[in-house]
Amino acid sequence: MVVREHWINTNMNKLVIYPGRFHPFHKGHKSSYDFLAKEYGGDNVYVATSNAQAPLTSPFSFEEKKQMMALTGVPEDKVVQVKNPYRSEELTGTVTDPENTALIYGLSEKDVGRFTFTKKDGSKGYMQPYPKDEAQLKPMTEHAYIVLTPTVKFKVQGKDSESASQVRAAYTKADEKTRKKILTDLYGTFANDVKEIWDNKMGIVEELSQMMTTLKESRDPLDRNMRKVELALEMERTVKQIEEADLEGHYVQGERIVPAGGQGSWTAEGLKENIVAQMSKFVNMLRQQNYQGAYEELFSNNSFQSKLEALTLLDQKKLPRR
């Protein structure tokens, strides 16, 4: 897979999602956003991130991350809160013309591994690498595409920024002057309100780390700090479950069904009506002797298969709940 360096020449609409945990968001991420906005048009690109928090590895809320994004220059109306950034049903479910819209995810090299391009039977999965020839683009009802964003290296405290966890750890140990320098390195500028967010959240991380060290030494089950640590670890597990969910599995969320493949969320009745509409389209194609179109609608349309499979699993009471 290669980073694309030319403009798309196609009449198909585009929904471009830049998903991530962003703990924290920084100017390296902003460079990826700028790349996608230049490549596909700023009106089509959205940053998707969740409000899922865990004090040790995912300390920042959605609103706090949004403040950091604003500091780097990401437009506020281009930042969307989702449950799972790598599914982003809150965005894909709002598309009014999915059969004429290409769904594109901008991912860094380390995040590409979240997805597989083939199913267990060897056939093409819903997610595919972005094609070299834009004429081969399929609508989001059939496939979504991954484009690799360039990795822009920058320095924090004079060293290449290697990972978010290292930056958080360095901030926790730093004095006031160094903390300001770290934030300036991260965002290209300094803002007191963002520093307050970091001071608050990293203070909690430091407190929990000290508790865990103390508990390891005492092993007292009645220690009142034990419950705090247990809750923190439970939050970590919950966030990990959310982040590891991908586009290849169906599930139920509340009263709504979420078919695999970024097909949005549906009530059972709404999903049934949508499948009936697609079947009617298939029947009309047969009547019009459009056999190629009928074949593609029934056998090549991953959207139809995905929705019907989700409804079948619901009927069999095998659809997992999240």
Residues 128 and 160 in one domain: no
Domain end marker among 222, 244, 266: 244
Tell me which long-range contacts 58-61 makes (C-beta under 8 A, separation of at least 24).
58/21, 58/23, 58/236, 58/239, 59/23, 59/168, 59/201, 59/202, 59/204, 59/205, 60/22, 60/23, 60/24, 60/197, 60/201
Residue predicted with more confidence, 231 or 298: 298
Whether residue 8 is contained in a domain is answered as: no
Give the range among 18-32, 109-123, 124-138, 273-287 with minimum mean pLDDT: 109-123
Q: Which residue segment(s) compose the domain that 101 sits in? A: 13-148
Q: pLDDT tens digits, residue range 220-233?
A: 555 565 555 565 56
pLDDT digits (tens, 9 = 90+) for 163-194: 787 888 889 889 999 999 999 999 999 999 99
The answer to the question of residue 322 being in a domain is no
Same domain, 179 and 268: no
Q: Of 244, 264, 285, which one is at a domain's C-terminal end?
A: 244
Can you give the pLDDT at residue 181?
95
246 and 88 Cβ atoms separated by less than 8 Å: no
281, 306: one domain: yes
Q: 22-36, 111-125, 140-154, 233-247: which has the highest mean pLDDT?
A: 22-36
Share of the chain above pLDDT 70, in %: 77
How far apart are alpha carbons 16 and 92 in whole angstroms? 10
User: Span 189-216, mean pLDDT?
Assistant: 80
More confident residue, 300 or 3: 300
Domain boundary among 148, 168, 194: 148
- Number of domains comprising the chain: 3
User: Are 239 and 279 members of one domain?
Assistant: no
Query: Residue 19: pLDDT above 90?
Result: yes
Output the pLDDT for position 7.
Answer: 41
Burial bucket for residue 155 (CB in 10 Å: 0-12, 13-18, 19+): exposed
> Bigger pLDDT: 250 or 231?
250
Residue 7 is assigned to a structural domain of this protein: no
Residue 2 maps to a domain: no
**173/137 same-domain check:** no
Residue 207, pLDDT score: 74
Based on the fold, state whether residues 17 and 139 are members of the same structural domain.
yes
Instruction: Supply the angle between the helices 62-72 and 192-218 in degrees, to the nearest 10.
Output: 140
Same domain, 240 and 272: no
Residue with tokens 């083939």: 118
Report yes or no on 6 lying in a domain: no
The pLDDT of residue 315 is 82
Determine the pLDDT at residue 6.
39
Q: Which of 79, 84, 92, 23 is nearest to 266 (CA)?
A: 92
What integer pLDDT is reported at residue 35 of this predicted model?
96
Measure the N-to-C terminal CA separation of the chain; round to a whole number of Å.
Answer: 32
Q: Are 64 and 89 contained in the same domain?
A: yes
Name residue 305's amino acid: Q
pLDDT value at residue 280: 85
Instruction: Determine contact, residues 143/126, Cβ cutoff 8 Å.
Output: yes
Residue 167 within a domain: yes
pLDDT greater than 90 at residue 26: yes
Q: Are residues 239 and 255 in the same domain?
A: no
Domain identity same for 89 and 193: no
Could you tell me if 125 and 217 lie in one domain?
no
Question: Is residue 320 one of the residues assigned to a domain?
Answer: no
Mean pLDDT of 125-151: 88
pLDDT 10s digits, 38-68? 999 999 999 999 998 887 788 899 999 999 9
| Model confidence band, residue 262 (pLDDT cutoffs 50, 70, 90) | low
Q: What is the CATH number of the domain that holds 100?
A: 3.40.50.620
